[in-house]
Amino acid sequence: MISRRKIFPTSSWAAGCRLLFPVAFQGPSASISQLPSVQTPKSLPEPYRTLACPSFCRPGLHSPANRFEASIKGVSKVCRFSSQALDGLPVFRTVDVPLAQTGEGIAECELLKWFVKEGEEVEEFQPICEVQSDKATIEITSRYKGKVSRLLYVPGDIVKVGETLLKLLVDEFEEGTPVSGLTEEHLAKPELVDSQLDKSKGVGVLSTPAVRNLAKQYDIDINDVHGTGTDGRILKDDILQYAVKKGIIEEQRVSSAPSPKEQLVESENYPNAQDEVRWSYEDKKVQLRGYQRAMVKSMTISAKVPHFHYVEEINCDGLVELKACFQENTTEPDVKHTFLPLLIKSLSMAMSKYPMVNSCFNEESFEVTLKGSHNIGIAMATPNGLVVPNIKSVQSLSVLEITKELSRLQRLAMDNKLSPVDVSGGTITLSNIGAIGGKFGSPLLNLPEVAIIAMGRIKKVPQITEDGDVYPASIMTINIGADHRVLDGATVSKFCNEWKRFIENPDLLILHMR
């Protein structure tokens, strides 16, 4: 059964046309043997051949309307066209979509998951996959509109920057583009010609592929949904609420949807506490990925640097009272005040007096760069490993602003959504081991920084005055790890004393705060 698609141009055939036809070419009193300069590359599979036709203007090849008919064996299409009609016919070519540079110094990433499948249509700037570098998790978007031809990696693979992630079939007919550039893969799928007629949905709408799939599941036009996310981004809850409003689903079903934290736990496939524990005595190899892989590299390098550690105990009674005062008098109930923002702000004020602590060292040029901004990194334990996002320009932020930024970074870290900006540019690191329960730690540097501080938990311990009286005090033990190539013991000691003075006398924070 042969169907027909007809194109009737008004102009005559032009010279130098290059057409893709099967072996059987039919026309008014014309055959393949009559066509001049026929080129049939052997690399193309039967029944396809590339015919270069310099001219159709010769005796025996004329037709009243310059129309020729091609019957393509194995394809249910018959086309009638002239050379001018080629301008409207799509030509497909394969483009490689590589892993772009995701950040300074990043050489490879782990592929976490695909958002697309082979044979699926892809819009320009649509997320196609999610990768994790040594520093952050990033969504890779497509630069082209087309159809996925082949996925070259599977989740869990390590992909080097610049390597091809997938191959995309792109409809891009350009004047002068030779048909010989087509591959066998293109020719084996002629049905792709009509795929571009599909209507694209959700163009210009900010949403993730999962949200668009949810809208498609409920037969909802995503353009009709009002987004409540950042910059109008449509969230999963927006789709569900719209479905309730239209009577597609019941409200009870929406309320029973799992939260992101519940989904995170489920995705880890942790055993139920009530399930029977089965002990396994077999060895098991675990491939380190993501943040753990980054920690292997960074700590191996850091261990080669000569460290100097300085330990001190700090009385935090005044800090405890100030934190309680903040919580009692807060005008934002959703904001939870903790000790850490106060420690971060006081640390920044101490670094202003000792800028050498807020620096980085280049061992090749023997240069120390004193950083202008206090970008204080906070070590965070996540389900995916240890990560150190940093709060930018702490010297210019209030305690409340630091509290909100810290909360944002903690939320993104737990959801594995930190951006490269969040984890780059740090100038000093705080490791709050006290939040887990430790009293003392000996941290390794987060290069190229020259200082890192481990803070133990604040604990009530008995203290003795010079008169012999005993009283309870809230004591925190800190351990400052320093690059001994840059910082000497005297500098670290003076810096620690300045920081200790602000913590033990929090009123000075107000006096010196800018």
Long-range contacts from 195-198, C-beta under 8 angstroms, 24+ separation: 195/121, 195/147, 196/90, 196/171, 198/121
Strands 359-362 vs 367-370: parallel, antiparallel or unpaired:
antiparallel
Domain boundaries, the chain: 5-88, 92-255, 291-512
Print pLDDT tens along the chain (514 aa): 333 333 333 333 433 444 444 333 333 434 344 444 334 444 444 444 333 343 333 333 344 444 444 444 444 444 444 444 444 555 568 888 888 887 777 788 888 889 999 889 998 888 999 888 877 788 888 888 889 988 988 888 888 888 999 998 887 543 333 333 444 444 344 343 333 333 344 445 677 777 887 888 888 888 888 888 776 778 888 888 888 888 777 654 444 444 444 443 333 444 444 444 455 678 888 877 777 778 888 888 888 999 999 999 999 999 999 988 888 887 787 888 889 999 999 999 999 999 999 999 998 899 999 999 999 999 998 888 889 999 999 999 999 999 999 999 999 999 888 888 898 899 999 999 888 877 888 899 999 999 999 999 999 999 998 888 999 999 999 999 999 999 999 999 999 999 999 999 988 887 777 6
> Is 488 an annotated catalytic residue?
yes
User: Which CATH number describes the domain made up of 92-255?
Assistant: 2.40.50.100
Residue 15 structure tokens = 């010279």
Strands 390-391 vs 376-378: parallel, antiparallel or unpaired:
antiparallel
Cβ pair 171, 91 in contact under 8 A = yes
The rounded distance, in Å, linking the Cα atoms of 478 and 503 is: 12
The rounded distance, in Å, linking the Cα atoms of 305 and 254 is: 54
Write down the catalytic residue from 157, 194, 488, 507. 488
291-512 folds as Chloramphenicol Acetyltransferase (3.30.559)
Reduced DSSP (H G I as helix, E B as strand, rest coil) percent helix, strand, coil of the chain, to 5: 30, 25, 45
How much is the pTM?
0.56
Compute, in degrees rounded to 10, the torsion defined by CA atoms 501, 502, 507, 511. Answer: 110
Cβ pair 347, 375 in contact under 8 A = no
> Is 484 an annotated catalytic residue?
yes
Q: Omega of the bond prior to 448 within 30 degrees of 0, cis? A: yes
The rounded distance, in Å, linking the Cα atoms of 168 and 309 is: 54
Write down the catalytic residue from 62, 307, 309, 484. 484
